[in-house]
């Protein structure tokens, strides 16, 4: 009887732990970079930009094509090695 109860408990616990892992993986981690201010070094002809962030220059683009080119920009997302910028500080 003890082996049966222990076996049932082990199976149920394993299933619950797997379900909890799936739920945690589903929530995207925005990372520590999102919301950080960046300094635009130069604007490219195609609308992209080179920005200075964490001691290096990165390729970037604004979330909206008609965004003004002056003021402070913040990192909204990261796509590969490209930063997506916004003028509104993300939460």
Pairing of strands 56-62, 82-86: parallel
Q: Which helix (H) or strand (E) holds 22?
A: helix 2-26
Total-model pTM: 0.62
What number is the average pLDDT over the span 28-56?
85
DSSP designation for 10: H
pLDDT of res. 87: 85
State the pLDDT confidence band at 16, using cuts at 50, 70 and 90: very high
């Amino acid at each position: 009887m003890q082996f049966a109860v222990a076996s049932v408990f082990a199976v149920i616990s394993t299933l619950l732990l797997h379900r909890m892992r799936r739920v945690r993986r589903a929530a995207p981690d925005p990372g520590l970079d999102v919301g950080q201010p960046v300094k635009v070094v130069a604007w490219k002809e195609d609308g992209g930009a080179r920005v200075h962030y964490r001691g290096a220059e990165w390729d970037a683009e604004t979330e909206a094509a008609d965004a003004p080119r002056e003021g402070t920009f913040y990192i909204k997302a990261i796509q590969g090695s490209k930063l997506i910028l916004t003028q509104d500080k993300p939460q």
